[in-house]
């Protein structure tokens, strides 16, 4: 049985190391949404076409999602500290290159590299949390990570709006990328000093290049028609979805074959024998499909229909971001006591908050809609924090530390695919009904109701899990995969509470 070393309990450096991880996570996730309000500035200052603007947004999401699982596995094998620092350095350099891009084509290229670098960083963060923390401290750490996810995604339009308002439309888009430079350099310097030098858990294992090729092709086939939904006309693009499904089936068969032959797979399929991991990944996928789309269509509505500036539109989603940070911190403290019930409560709050936004848009004049939606945004934000943070903790709590990077990559790949699918579906609904002010109000309402429907799917999955648990005579104490490569010691006390 593999012995996994952890930082000694008195060593408070692990909290400083966590701050480094969260800082890198913040700027990488911020870049998924900050560019949305900068697109008009890119068009004005760089003469970027609509196709180039689309690839600035979607290309980042695409390469981000492609790299997650192999990068997580690489961190498991060769050391998460090294993988994290390489990814952060590449992300910082790519951010500077984006800001200096002389043309739209160069900007798209550097943006693709930046997304891949972000995909290298993300799974190392969850893996390092698994390594550095145990029990209640791990739940608290994942609570802070949930705060970062919620705040960075929601704060992107606000930060972008502030920068463009301060610098101007000609060069404002460049500072959307330059803002990462001082933060990235400081985080890298701190990481060199603070990140723990754990021994890698799988140095003797071979990487699985064919598995990487199969999974990467599957993710590409699934995400490409979603992120390009508005730019690729016609229905032929959707033929890529069944191709992606077939490639996933081939990947699954290949990974089983690797395991039977005694070789290390890219993704240990025993992970999916853990109900907490499988269910949590599905909840995360469906929730992110609804969660991230809200800011996409709502920001467009505020600027294009209500006449808000980029800065004002960013301020209007600030209540969601602030409340999400609070909810995630609280969720990290309560998840060990309440388990999946906390996720159910959080998803209910999200649904209620979004429905409140729908009602406010209908009843309030457009010039006051930002104020009218503040309270529903607070309710939805609290619910989001109580969903993302506890669900992440519950999903990863029984994953063995030696597979934490790959497992985190799988979880976050689902989030990226869910986000792309949600934006494609909700965006299609929104743009299909947009024609004039009256129709624009209808469009945002239908778009938000579609997002509510996706959140409802996640809610139903959580409720179903609760019902199954209540029907069981006792909570499971060990993984069904114990004895097939999973360490019993990785199951935390939180499992007793419904994790």
> What is the Cα–Cα distance from 207 to 265, expressed in whole angstroms?
8
* Structure token pair of residue 99: 């800001």
pLDDT at 183: 95
pLDDT at 435: 62
Do 384 and 470 form a contact (C-beta atoms < 8 A)? no
Do 73 and 409 form a contact (C-beta atoms < 8 A)? yes
pLDDT at 377: 92
pTM value surpassing 0.75: yes
Going from the first residue of the chain to its last (499 residues), give the mean pLDDT of each consecutive group of 10, the final group possibly shorter: 43 84 91 81 82 81 86 84 94 95 92 93 88 82 81 78 82 90 95 79 65 87 78 80 91 86 79 84 89 79 81 82 86 83 93 93 86 92 89 83 79 83 82 68 89 92 77 42 36 37
Half-sphere exposure of 68 (CA within 13 A, CB side): 25
pLDDT at 476: 41
Cα angle: 146, vertex 412, 489; to 5 degrees: 75
Rounded to whole angstroms, what are the CA distances from 244 to 53, 251, 252, 427?
Answer: 25, 10, 12, 22
Rounded to whole angstroms, what are the CA distances from 305 to 127, 228, 309?
Answer: 43, 24, 11
Nearest to 134 by CA among 339, 397, 330, 340: 397
Residue partners of 375: CB distance under 8 A and separation at least 6 = 319, 356
Rounded to whole angstroms, what are the CA distances from 470 to 339, 341, 467?
Answer: 13, 12, 5
């Amino acid at each position: 049985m593999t012995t996994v070393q952890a930082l000694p309990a008195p060593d408070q450096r692990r909290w400083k190391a966590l701050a480094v991880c969260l800082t890198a996570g913040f700027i990488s996730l911020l870049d998924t949404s900050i560019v949305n309000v900068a697109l008009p500035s890119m068009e004005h200052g760089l003469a970027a076409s609509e196709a180039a603007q689309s690839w600035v947004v979607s290309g980042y999401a695409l390469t981000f999602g492609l790299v997650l699982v192999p990068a997580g596995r690489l961190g498991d094998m060769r050391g998460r500290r090294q993988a994290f620092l390489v990814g952060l350095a590449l992300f910082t350099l790519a951010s500077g290159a984006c800001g200096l891009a002389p043309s739209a084509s160069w900007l798209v290229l550097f943006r693709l590299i930046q997304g891949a670098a972000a995909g290298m960083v993300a799974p190392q963060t969850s893996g390092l949390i698994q390594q550095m923390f145990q029990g209640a401290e791990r739940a608290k750490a994942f609570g802070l990570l949930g705060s970062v996810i919620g705040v960075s995604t929601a704060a992107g339009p606000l930060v972008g709006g502030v920068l463009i308002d301060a610098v101007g439309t000609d060069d404002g888009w460049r500072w959307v990328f330059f803002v990462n430079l001082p933060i990235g350099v400081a985080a890298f310097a701190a990481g060199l000093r603070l990140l723990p030098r754990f021994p890698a858990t799988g140095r003797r294992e071979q990487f699985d290049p064919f598995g990487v090729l199969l999974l990467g092709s599957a993710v590409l086939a699934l995400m490409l028609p979603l992120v390009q939904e508005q730019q690729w006309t016609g229905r032929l693009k959707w033929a890529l979805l069944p191709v992606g499904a077939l490639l996933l089936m081939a990947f699954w068969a290949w990974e089983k074959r690797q395991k039977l032959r005694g070789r290390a797979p890219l993704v240990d399929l025993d992970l999916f024998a853990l109900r907490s991991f499988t269910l949590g990944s599905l909840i995360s996928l469906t929730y992110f499909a609804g969660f991230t789309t809200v800011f996409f269509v709502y920001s467009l509505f505020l600027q294009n229909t209500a006449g808000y500036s980029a800065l004002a539109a960013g301020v209007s989603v600030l209540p969601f971001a602030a409340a999400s940070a609070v909810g995630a911190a609280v969720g990290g403290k309560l998840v060990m006591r309440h388990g999946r019930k906390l996720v159910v409560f959080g998803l209910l709050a999200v649904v209620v908050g979004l429905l409140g936004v729908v009602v406010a848009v209908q009843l309030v004049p457009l010039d006051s809609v930002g104020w009218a939606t503040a309270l529903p945004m607070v309710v939805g934000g609290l619910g989001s924090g109580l969903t993302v943070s506890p669900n992440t903790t519950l999903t990863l709590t029984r994953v063995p530390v030696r597979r934490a990077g790959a497992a985190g990559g799988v979880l976050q790949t689902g989030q990226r695919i869910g986000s792309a699918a949600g934006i494609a579906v909700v965006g299609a609904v929104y743009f299909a009904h947009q024609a004039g002010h009256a129709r624009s109000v209808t469009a945002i309402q239908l778009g938000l109701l579609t997002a509510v429907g996706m959140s409802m799917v996640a809610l139903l999955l959580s409720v179903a899990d609760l019902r199954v648990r209540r029907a069981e005579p006792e909570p499971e104490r060990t993984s069904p995969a114990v004895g097939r490569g999973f360490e019993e010691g990785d199951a935390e006390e939180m499992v007793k509470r419904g994790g």
